[in-house]
Structure 1
Amino acid sequence: TQILFQHGVNLVLQDKKGKASKKEDQPNPKDEGGEEHMAAVLAELRTLRKEHAEASKDTKDSLTRVEAALAELDERMTKLEQRMTENEQRLSDAEDKSQRNERALHYLLQRDASLSAKCEDLESRARRNNVRIYE
């Protein structure tokens, strides 16, 4: 059993399994081990300080790893946003080109119909004039 903290008449003890328990400390007029008791408390405080420092270091290391992972995710997110912007631009360009091609196709279809009608008219006139056109 280790002494963790003494405050007034309450004494907190810790057994080997790490469970803390309180015991009432009755003042003993024959208590001559006050210095030994203080030395034990001081040793326990040093142990606690060391454990706290180790836990603090572990926490800082974990925080550093989390920050590094967050920075990596931020970088990946930035790259993905950039790729998405580029893809949106390419899609917009492709849509514009498609619209131009549709307008050109519409014009060419009208022109084809017009030229076909003109050719048919010329062939009809040529037949009337007894002229033959070989294709």
Structure 2
Amino acid sequence: MEQFSSRIFSIHQIATVIKDARNARGWTQEELAAQTGFSRVWINRFEQSVISDPSFRRILAMCDVLSIDLSASYAPGKQVLPTRRHSRQRAKGSASKALEGDERTIRPQTVREAAAILESLARGTENGTVTANEENSL
């Protein structure tokens, strides 16, 4: 199984990773739409970066059916100003439950945490990286 890794800094890059993963599976936009329940038109608009602010749930749904693993990493000890949403999550204790060593893994059940991390990265308020790993199951 081949594995690909890509640093993500924008919605456009996420769209490119999803399109590449779809093509690697030999799927059409119609097939991805059928697997996710989204319209083919929406998939096309997302892949063309016409949709600049898709919901994170939709991104996770596409990643799930394409076996794309989203993860975030950070440098321990660096002072980072948290966003309001991130602070609320920390207060609830949900962020600490997802920590494993120095790497934070995002799974579908941690949608809110993942959304906060990606939103922070998109705004440039955290010094981190988001990677998308695809395991090619062809």
TM-score normalised according to structure 2 size: 0.19
Q: Which has the larger radius of gyration?
A: 1
TM-score normalised according to structure 1 size: 0.19
Structure ranking higher on relative contact order (CA contacts 8 Å, 6+ apart): 2
